[in-house]
């Protein structure tokens, strides 16, 4: 990576930096937790994805798998890139160059799949009248916010790490991210980050705040139990052969 970040100790933070990179993330996390508790206690019947498959399924059969597969890959990449320190991946034999090369190209494929699926879902909602009329206020908030978060992330990666000189976010943004969860916030770690990465981080915080009030809550209700559930055995009812006289219920009781 050619961009060498400024040492964190030398970076200065202002009141605006503390508001954006300490106060806002913690407020969004608090809303995320409290909102889920409130939603579960007050709206369990609405704790679904509110699928519109019955209204239209041709677009959905392609858009939904693309979006969800891309989202799973993107989330996995963010977990490794933000939550796992570079020293840990190097300790298991993954060099920083190998990590960034894999992350950029795998993340690009995942991002394209996610954007394609999300674009199809948004177009389906806009072009299908019955679905458009059923769009509620939470969807009108979720889809633009989710689209902005995804597009900013892809644009930042493309501008700096695909077509640009490269930016090592693991030594800056990742440090800020981990500091929030260990209650040692380091806003100076993200202050010098490129604007696109900063906007991506802010929209992600807002997305987490909106999460409990939208259809995203269905993520926590994934039917994982189906993987270990015993098989259900179905038996086909035997059809009477030609000329056979069906036995009456009373006759079967007398025979018994």
pLDDT digits (tens, 9 = 90+) for 89-103: 888 888 888 888 888
pLDDT at residue 147, as a whole number: 94
Round to whole Å and give the CA distance between 176 and 169: 10
* 3-state SS, residue 179: helix
pLDDT at residue 9, as a whole number: 44
pLDDT at residue 2, as a whole number: 45
Q: Is the separation of the CB atoms in 190 and 129 below 8 Å?
A: no
pLDDT at residue 127, as a whole number: 85
Phi, psi dihedrals of residue 183, rounded to the nearest 5°: 60, 35
How far CA 62 is from CA of 49, 59, 66, in Å, comes to 17, 6, 6
- From the CB of residue 129, how many other CB atoms can be counted at a distance below 10 Å? 10
- pTM for the full predicted model: 0.78
pLDDT at residue 249, as a whole number: 47
The mean pLDDT values, 10 residues at a time, for the chain of 256 residues are: 45 84 97 95 78 70 89 92 89 86 88 92 86 83 93 92 88 95 94 95 97 89 58 59 55 42
- The 8-class DSSP code of residue 67 comes to H
CA dihedral (52, 58, 61, 66) positive or negative: negative
How far CA 35 is from CA of 20, 40, 246, in Å, comes to 21, 8, 60
């Amino acid at each position: 990576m050619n961009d060498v970040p400024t040492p964190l100790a030398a970076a200065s933070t202002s009141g605006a930096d503390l508001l954006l990179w300490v106060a806002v993330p913690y407020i969004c996390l608090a809303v995320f937790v409290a909102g889920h508790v409130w939603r579960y206690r007050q709206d369990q019947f609405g704790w679904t994805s509110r699928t519109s498959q019955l209204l239209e399924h041709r677009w959905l059969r392609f858009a939904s798998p693309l979006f969800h597969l891309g989202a799973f890959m993107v989330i996995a990449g963010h977990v490794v890139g933000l939550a796992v320190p570079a020293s840990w991946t190097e300790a298991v034999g993954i060099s920083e160059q190998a990590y960034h090369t894999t992350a950029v190209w795998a993340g690009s494929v995942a991002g394209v799949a996610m954007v394609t699926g999300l674009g199809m879902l948004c177009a389906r909602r806009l072009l299908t009248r019955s679905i458009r009329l059923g769009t509620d206020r939470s969807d009108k908030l979720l889809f633009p916010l989710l689209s902005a978060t995804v597009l900013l992330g892809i644009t930042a990666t493309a501008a700096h790490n695909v077509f640009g000189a490269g930016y090592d976010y693991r030594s800056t943004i990742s440090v800020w991210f981990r500091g929030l969860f260990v209650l040692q916030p380091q806003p100076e770690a993200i202050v010098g980050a490129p604007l696109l990465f900063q906007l991506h981080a802010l929209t992600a915080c807002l997305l987490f705040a909106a999460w409990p009030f939208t259809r995203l809550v269905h993520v926590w209700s994934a039917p994982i139990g189906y993987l270990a559930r015993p098989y259900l055995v179905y038996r086909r009812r035997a059809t009477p052969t030609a000329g056979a006289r069906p036995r009456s219920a009373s006759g079967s009781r007398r025979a018994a």
